[in-house]
């Protein structure tokens, strides 16, 4: 049984979350708390496997409660965050402090897409609750690595673009990687991270502030440039298209119903391979599900290179597992070595 503590000042949200997750026989709601003070007390008393923690609460908010929980009783915490831009910034603060992931708090979606939200929430709680807290993956400083003086391309094609896919646990993993990329990195980096629309902009801004390379939320129609990191907007899917012989640009689309994850890692990677063939480096990071497995397979089949994050540093091993078990990972490395592998590949 995965033992869950629900923390929220809204009776409606407490009941909604409890009702959704209690329907699974492997999950037990062991308690509820109405504010941050109660949350810290009940974590100590009940010793749950995982906590869902609201951000805005009276007496003590979720951020202050999270700080105390991580200092005294470290365990996996899922933040329950509003989908506003301000909510996104607060959630990114929470991930920096130690929360493993977040649940967007959108009452409209809760009533319209209740079945989908329920499935995602149960999957996150069961997967993260079973594994427990993954420690020591956040870097304390953001000093980038240096480009090697000479890169060897023995038996490999030269890499022209890097495509990265991630989901649950991805924001912290991406921060670890992108802040290590040097300013003179010679190729573009394209990232599909599963996130709500209001989150990807603030996330790109934060990475840009911490990194030596330029990081931005991708815009429809803009050409891709070397040394720039493009974050796919959460409102749709990101592809690249060849407009001219020497110019490749970004396309953002909101349709493509055949892709259940948004923004789709597979769609991004497949479009990159279509335009750059074997000159692609694909990287798959922590996340639920199998998004990216088709894209990584195609990268490998066309002669590109592929890297998967190893299980020991993944918050959730689903996406890397699907690539590794299919035999489509050239290298399997822990998170703190991935930036070095990317730099050495170009």
Q: What amino acid positions are annotated as catalytic residues?
A: 167, 194, 291
Q: For residue 148, what are the CA distances in angstroms to 156, 184, 229, 343?
A: 17, 11, 20, 8
Task: Report whether 331 contacts 308 (CB < 8 A).
Answer: yes
Task: Report whether 43 contacts 138 (CB < 8 A).
Answer: no
Task: Report whether 329 contacts 307 (CB < 8 A).
Answer: yes
Q: CA-CA distance, 174 to 177, in Å (whole number)? A: 5
Residue 42: phi and psi, rounded to 5, are: -75, -30
Given the DSSP bridges, would you call strands 2-7 and 161-166 parallel, antiparallel or unpaired? unpaired
């Amino acid at each position: 049984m995965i033992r869950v503590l629900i923390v929220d000042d809204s009776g409606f949200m407490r009941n909604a979350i409890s009702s959704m997750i209690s329907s699974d026989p492997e999950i037990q709601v062991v308690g509820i708390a109405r504010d941050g003070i109660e949350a810290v007390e009940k974590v100590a008393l009940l010793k749950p496997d995982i906590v869902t923690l609201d951000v805005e609460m009276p007496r003590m908010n979720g951020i202050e409660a999270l700080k105390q929980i991580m200092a005294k009783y470290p365990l996996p915490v899922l933040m329950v965050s509003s989908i506003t831009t301000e909510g996104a910034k607060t959630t990114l603060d929470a991930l920096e402090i130690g929360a493993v992931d977040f649940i967007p708090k959108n009452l409209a979606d809760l009533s319209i897409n209740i079945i989908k939200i329920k499935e995602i929430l149960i999957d996150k709680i069961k997967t993260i609750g079973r594994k427990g807290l993954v420690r020591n993956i956040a870097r304390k400083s953001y000093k980038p690595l240096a480009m090697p003086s000479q890169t060897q391309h023995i038996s490999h094609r030269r890499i022209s673009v890097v495509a990265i896919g991630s989901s649950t646990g991805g924001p912290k993993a991406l921060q670890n990687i992108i802040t290590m990329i040097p300013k003179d990195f010679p190729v573009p980096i394209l990232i599909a991270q599963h996130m709500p629309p209001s989150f990807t902009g603030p996330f790109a801004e934060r990475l840009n502030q911490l990194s030596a390379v330029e990081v931005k939320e991708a815009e429809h129609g803009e050409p891709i440039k070397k040394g720039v990191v493009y974050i796919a907007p959460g409102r749709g899917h990101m592809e690249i298209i060849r407009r001219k012989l020497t110019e490749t640009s970004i396309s953002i689309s909101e349709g493509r119903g055949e892709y259940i994850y948004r923004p789709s890692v597979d769609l991004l990677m497949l479009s990159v391979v279509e335009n750059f063939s074997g000159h692609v480096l694909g990287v798959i990071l922590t996340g639920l599900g199998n998004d990216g497995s088709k894209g990584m397979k195609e990268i490998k089949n066309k002669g590109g290179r592929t890297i998967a994050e190893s299980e020991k540093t993944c918050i959730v091993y689903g996406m890397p597992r699907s690539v590794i078990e299919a035999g489509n990972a050239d290298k399997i490395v822990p998170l703190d070595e991935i930036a070095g592998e990317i730099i050495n590949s170009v």
